[in-house]
Amino acid sequence: MAENATGGESLLFLTDEQLRKGIEAMFFAYQGFTADPDRILDTLEYGRAHHRAVHFINRSPGLTVSSLLAILGVTKQSLNRVLRTLFEDGLVEARVGKTDKRERRLHLTEKGAALERSLSDAQRARMRAAYRAAGPQAVQGFRMVLEAMMDPEMRRQYQGLKENNG
């Protein structure tokens, strides 16, 4: 820690080797990040795409299809395939927009909320363990680097979700 603050060392973190390790860390960590939910989803005949939809609908109840599209960054055809099964299975329901009747505002049913909790419990447990292992200082750095890595459009989406405190 101390060496980092001193001028000479401060560029060391931008060496090719450091950058490559960062790239690899992202790769391996993302595997871990998705591993637990994936296992649950497998047993239920769902996939990662369902998880994402359910996550963001839970996060912003009543959001429209086009908002969700913007968040996920996929085509409407792709999203629709997923949403259709979620409707059919009674995990998500769509309510016609009040002011604009073309909109379909998405909500989780109780069943959908239960799945969301199950997935999110697993994922948060891992995140909590990682945070705990690394400490609060590290968590802040983690968030800063990730945020800086996002495309500007996606950063806006990210910051628009609930409190962006922290």
| Contacting positions for its own copies (CB under 8 A) | 1, 3-4, 9-10, 12-14, 16-33, 35, 52, 55, 59, 73, 120, 123-124, 126-151, 154-155, 157-158, 161-164, 166
Is residue 19 within 8 Å of 74, Cβ to Cβ?
Answer: no
- DSSP assignment of 22-68 equals HHHHHHHHHHHHHHHHHHHHHHTT--HHHHHHHHHHHHSTTEEHHHH
If binding is defined by CB under 7 A, does position 26 make contact with DNA?
A: no
Quick check: 50 binds DNA (CB under 7 A)? yes
Q: What, of its own copies, DNA, none, does residue 16 touch, CB below 5 to 8 Å by kind? A: its own copies
Q: In angstroms, give the least distance from the CB of 122 to its own copies.
A: 11
- Report angle CA 88, 81, 154 to the nearest 5 degrees: 120
Q: Is 102 in the site for DNA (CB under 7 A)?
A: yes
Q: Which tokens go with 166?
A: 């922290």
Among DNA, its own copies, none, what does residue 117 contact (CB within 5–8 Å per kind)?
Answer: none
In contact, 123 and 132? CB cutoff 8 Å:
no
**From DNA, its own copies, none, which one binds at residue 1 (CB under 5 to 8 Å depending on kind)?**
its own copies
Q: Is 65 in the site for DNA (CB under 7 A)?
A: yes
What is the Cα–Cα distance from 11 to 8, expressed in whole angstroms?
7
